């Protein structure tokens, strides 16, 4: 039993975060190999010259995390550049691996935890939880994959999505009416491009109120849901964390009546602002409030909805009433003063402090397992518990069908209830590469059903970026094209080369039996669907340094092109492989390549897939949606 290889240490009074599902016997003392400084409450570990550090789920930078500082403190920050330390998620699991031996650690602490992985000192990894109430797990094993399997046993089985969720989804912030959505469906159909989902962003709601549908813009919503489904398309609405403060709005009224909103020290509910204007935050950490909110999804599942995306659940705060007052107070003081340059920077800092202010996260409290806890100490649980509330409600209320669910914010444990998308990326080539690198780290932590906004969310995409991004995203379990309000339209029918786009999406559908089978295996066997090369080619130093190629399932390696104006790329082969260069599921050429470096041509419309030795890939005939796929049909087989 792999749990035997796990040792648990406790510091302070750890919260029961819900991340772990198994009992592990407690050890006394300090985790082996670590030093603990009582004054700074910091764990340190000396990294060997060859040590690579893998994990931390959704973060910036490389697959090997060595050489940067990462702070687990879920953040609503849309600019994921290299300088950032926090994104939307906190998955505090790491593996230290020198290529021949490895161990894992899991830091179960729901507050801010800083992982300095060779940033301050290139040879030292230090871990500093802001509140030292921590369960610290050390996981031994013979290889990274074995350690991953033990860790995943510890945290429980990953969420299983419905099979149709492996189809392609079109999204955009700004589909305002049912007719806007009908147009998307129609244009895809006209071009014969498969489509399984159209996502509904906040525009579908009445004044951005959760669990409402604007009746003028979406008349007869229930029959609209049916009409789309008859065409093979499921509508997937967004749900936001904040509940609009509005007299007469049932969710608000019930939340107030039952005392389900997060409160400040003085006992009054926190007033924050997000899309609907002023909101209260449901206390998802309070089981009664979670049950109440979870049951609300029924309003939409009763109308035929079968999937949701949970958003703004770090929680994102545009401002709080209290902090805004403070800011205005300060502005009053400096209003008539001459601003020198430092005064000006202070003024600017004041304005920038309005949204997602750390002080605001210290302003409100939860009833967590019957105990009053200040939000910042359990900050990273908020999105997890929102998604858990929904997932548990689906198990109660929707036993007849599997509901699609994924979230922006996450913590370990949430992987049992839903997937994640990686939030507001940009239409940048560097973010395509970031997407490639994030996937194996997410998979390590059990977030198998995951993906990014293909084509990029913020900024303007280009036709070639969209094409190259799709060529990677056809392998990600969650496969969605999403973009922000005001950016260039990026539905596939907006571009010239619609035939090539159709071919790429059809290739995805042809691959679905493989993708689905390999994801199911990763879920059931606590494995990984996307693996870094080094997890398989253990003694190959080059494999360890190759981060722009991934193993997909057991049989394939991919090497996406992620740079503009390139018609090929260098590929490192850790063993002999068979290259299949796809132009469509039925137009391809193959070639056997030997272990080593190769320059491989890949025109803009070509997808590179490498079959591993002793492995096989079969394709099915694509269909316009997953429900109409024949999963057992085989139209092409590639063997090596
Ligand atoms: C957030 C989400 C994004 C969504 C937008 C409007 O930025 O991350 O996906 O489109 O809110 O709801």
83 Cβ partners below 8 Å, 6+ apart?
none
Per-residue pLDDT tens over the stretch 156-193: 999 999 999 999 999 999 999 999 999 999 999 999 99
How many alpha carbons lie under 13 Å from residue 128 in its C-beta half-sphere? 16
Q: Is residue 173 in contact with ligand 1, taking CB distance under 6 Å?
A: yes
Ligand 1, residue 240: give the atom nearest the CA: 12
Tokens linked to 444: 């390590």
Q: Is residue 311 in contact with ligand 1, taking CB distance under 6 Å?
A: yes
Tokens linked to 217: 């813009």
Question: DSSP states of 446-498 as a string?
Answer: T--SEE-EET-SBS---HHHHHHHHHHHTTSSSEEE---TTSPP-SGGGSS-H
Quickly list H helices, 338-401: 341-352, 382-397
Q: Is residue 455 in contact with ligand 1, taking CB distance under 6 Å?
A: no
Give, for ligand 1, the residue of 239, 453, 457, 481 to mutate: max count of ligand atoms closer than 8 Å to Cβ: 457
Decide if 478 contacts 513 (C-beta within 8 A).
no
Tokens linked to 379: 């900050």
Q: Is residue 202 in contact with ligand 1, taking CB distance under 6 Å?
A: yes
Nearest to 428 by CA among 460, 471, 467, 451: 460
Distance 423 CA to ligand 1 centre (A): 8
Q: Is residue 174 in contact with ligand 1, taking CB distance under 6 Å?
A: no
* Helices vs. strands in the chain: H and E counts, helices first: 13, 39
Distance 126 CA to ligand 1 centre (A): 34
Question: DSSP states of 591-632 as a string?
Answer: EEE-SEEEEEE--TT-EEEEEETT-EEEEPPP-SSGGG--TT
Nearest to 2 by CA among 137, 155, 153: 153
Helix pair angle (287-296, 382-397), 10° resolution: 60
Residue 487, pLDDT score: 98
b or e along 75-101 (b: 16 or more beta carbons within 10 Å of the residue's beta carbon)? Answer: bbbeebeeebbbbbbbbbbbbbbebee
Distance 409 CA to ligand 1 centre (A): 12
Phi, psi (rounded to 5 degrees) for 612: -75, 155
Residue 566, pLDDT score: 98
Tokens linked to 624: 């316009």
State the residue for tokens 């010239």. Answer: 496
Q: Is residue 424 in contact with ligand 1, taking CB distance under 6 Å?
A: yes
Ligand 1, residue 78: give the atom nearest the CA: 7
Exposed/middle/buried for residue 180 (C-beta within 10 Å: 0-12, 13-18, 19+):
middle
Residue 323: strand, helix, or coil: helix
Phi, psi (rounded to 5 degrees) for 399: -65, -25
Distance 529 CA to ligand 1 centre (A): 27
Distance 441 CA to ligand 1 centre (A): 23
Tokens linked to 560: 């996406």
304 Cβ partners below 8 Å, 6+ apart?
222, 225, 226, 229
Per-residue pLDDT tens over the stretch 314-339: 999 999 999 999 999 999 999 888 88
User: For atom 10 of ligand 1, which residue has the closest CA?
Assistant: 173
Handedness of CA 549, 550, 552, 555 (dihedral sign): positive
User: For atom 3 of ligand 1, which residue has the closest CA?
Assistant: 424
Exposed/middle/buried for residue 472 (C-beta within 10 Å: 0-12, 13-18, 19+):
buried
Distance 545 CA to ligand 1 centre (A): 34
Phi, psi (rounded to 5 degrees) for 348: -65, -40
Distance 78 CA to ligand 1 centre (A): 10
Give, for ligand 1, the residue of 203, 421, 424 to mutate: max count of ligand atoms closer than 8 Å to Cβ: 424
Distance 238 CA to ligand 1 centre (A): 9
Distance 320 CA to ligand 1 centre (A): 19
Distance 596 CA to ligand 1 centre (A): 43
b or e along 314-352 (b: 16 or more beta carbons within 10 Å of the residue's beta carbon)? Answer: bbbbbbbebbbeebeeeeeeeeeeeeeeeeeeebeeeee
End-to-end CA distance of the chain: 34
Give, for ligand 1, the residue of 173, 208, 409 to mutate: max count of ligand atoms closer than 8 Å to Cβ: 173
User: For atom 5 of ligand 1, which residue has the closest CA?
Assistant: 173
Distance 311 CA to ligand 1 centre (A): 7
Ligand 1, residue 423: give the atom nearest the CA: 8
Distance 504 CA to ligand 1 centre (A): 26
Q: Is residue 201 in contact with ligand 1, taking CB distance under 6 Å?
A: yes
Nearest to 391 by CA among 284, 472, 316, 488: 284
Phi, psi (rounded to 5 degrees) for 54: -115, 150
Exposed/middle/buried for residue 528 (C-beta within 10 Å: 0-12, 13-18, 19+):
buried
Ligand 1, residue 238: give the atom nearest the CA: 12
User: For atom 7 of ligand 1, which residue has the closest CA?
Assistant: 424
CA distance 585 to 509: 9
CA distance 145 to 242: 39
Ligand 1, residue 309: give the atom nearest the CA: 9
Decide if 491 contacts 610 (C-beta within 8 A).
no
Distance 263 CA to ligand 1 centre (A): 26
CA distance 64 to 490: 32
Which stretches of the chain score pLDDT less than 50? none
Nearest to 526 by CA among 449, 445, 451, 450: 445
Tokens linked to 184: 């998307």
CA 448 to chain centre: 9
CA distance 38 to 44: 12
Residue 1, pLDDT score: 52
CA distances, 90 to each of 131, 153, 199 (Å): 15, 19, 25
Ligand 1, residue 312: give the atom nearest the CA: 1
Ligand 1, residue 457: give the atom nearest the CA: 9
**DSSP secondary structure letter of residue 356:** T
Phi, psi (rounded to 5 degrees) for 478: -90, 120
Give, for ligand 1, the residue of 454, 484, 485, 487 to mutate: max count of ligand atoms closer than 8 Å to Cβ: 484
Q: Is residue 423 in contact with ligand 1, taking CB distance under 6 Å?
A: yes
Ligand 1, residue 424: give the atom nearest the CA: 8
State the residue for tokens 């509508």. Answer: 235
């Amino acid at each position: 039993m792999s749990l035997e290889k796990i040792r648990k240490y406790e510091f302070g009074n750890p919260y029961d975060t819900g991340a772990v599902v198994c009992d592990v016997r407690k050890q006394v003392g300090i985790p082996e190999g670590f030093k603990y400084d009582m004054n700074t409450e910091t764990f340190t570990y000396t990294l060997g010259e060859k040590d690579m550090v893998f994990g931390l789920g959704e973060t910036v930078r490389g697959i090997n995390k060595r050489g940067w500082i990462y702070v687990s403190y879920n953040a609503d920050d849309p600019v994921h550049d290299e300088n950032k330390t926090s994104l939307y998620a906190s998955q505090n699991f790491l593996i230290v691996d020198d290529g021949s031996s490895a161990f894992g650690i899991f830091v179960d602490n729901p507050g801010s935890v800083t992982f300095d992985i060779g940033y301050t000192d290139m040879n030292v990894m230090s871990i500093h939880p802001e509140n030292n109430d921590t369960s610290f797990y050390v996981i031994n094993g013979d290889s990274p994959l074995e350690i991953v399997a033990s860790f995943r046993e510890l945290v429980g089985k990953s969420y299983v999505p419905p099979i149709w969720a492996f189809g392609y989804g079109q999204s955009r912030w700004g589909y305002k009416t049912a007719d806007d959505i009908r147009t998307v469906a129609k244009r895809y159909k006209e071009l014969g491009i498969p489509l399984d989902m159209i996502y509904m962003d906040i525009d579908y709601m009445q004044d951005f109120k959760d669990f409402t549908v604007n009746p003028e813009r979406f008349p007869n919503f229930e029959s609209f849901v049916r009409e789309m489904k008859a065409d093979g398309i499921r509508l997937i609405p967004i749900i936001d964390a904040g509940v609009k403060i509005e007299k007469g709005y049932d969710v608000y009224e019930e939340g107030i009546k039952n005392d389900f909103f997060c409160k400040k020290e003085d006992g009054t509910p926190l007033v924050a602002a997000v899309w609907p204007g002023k909101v209260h935050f449901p206390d998802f950490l309070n089981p009664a409030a979670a049950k109440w909110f979870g049951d609300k999804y029924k309003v939409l599942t009763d109308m035929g909805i079968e999937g949701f995306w949970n958003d703004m659940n770090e929680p994102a705060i545009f401002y709080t009433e209290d902090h805004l007052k403070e800011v205005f107070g300060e502005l009053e003081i400096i209003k008539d003063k001459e601003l020198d340059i430092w005064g000006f920077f202070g003024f600017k800092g004041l304005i920038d402090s309005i949204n997602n202010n750390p002080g605001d996260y210290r302003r409100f409290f939860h009833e967590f397992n019957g105990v009053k806890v200040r939000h910042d100490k359990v900050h990273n649980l908020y999105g997890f518990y929102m998604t858990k509330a929904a997932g548990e409600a689906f198990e109660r209320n929707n036993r007849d069908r599997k509901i699609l669910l994924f979230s922006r914010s996450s913590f370990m444990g949430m992987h049992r209830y839903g997937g994640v998308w990686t939030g507001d990326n940009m239409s940048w080539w560097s973010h395509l590469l970031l997407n490639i690198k994030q996937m194996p780290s997410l998979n390590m932590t059990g977030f198998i059903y995951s993906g990014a906004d293909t084509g990029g969310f913020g900024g303007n995409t280009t036709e070639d970026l969209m094409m190259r991004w799709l060529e990677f995203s056809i392998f990600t379990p969650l496969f969605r094209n999403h973009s922000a309000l005001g950016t260039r339209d990026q539905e596939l029918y907006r571009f010239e080369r619609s035939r090539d786009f159709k071919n790429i999406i059809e290739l995805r559908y042809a691959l679905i039996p493989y993708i689905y089978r390999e994801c199911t295996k990763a879920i059931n066997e606590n494995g990984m669907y996307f693996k870094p090369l080094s997890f398989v080619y253990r003694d190959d130093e080059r494999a360890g340094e190759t981060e722009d190629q991934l193993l997909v399932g057991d049989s394939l390696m991919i090497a996406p092109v992620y740079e503009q104006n390139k018609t090929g790329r260098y590929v490192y082969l850790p063993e002999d492989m068979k290259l299949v260069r796809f132009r469509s599921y039925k137009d391809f050429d193959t070639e056997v390549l030997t272990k080593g470096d190769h320059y491989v041509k890949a025109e803009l419309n070509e997808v590179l897939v490498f079959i591993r030795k002793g492995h096989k890939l079969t394709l099915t005939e694509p269909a316009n949606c997953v429900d109409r796929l024949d999963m057992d049909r085989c139209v092409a087989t590639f063997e090596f």
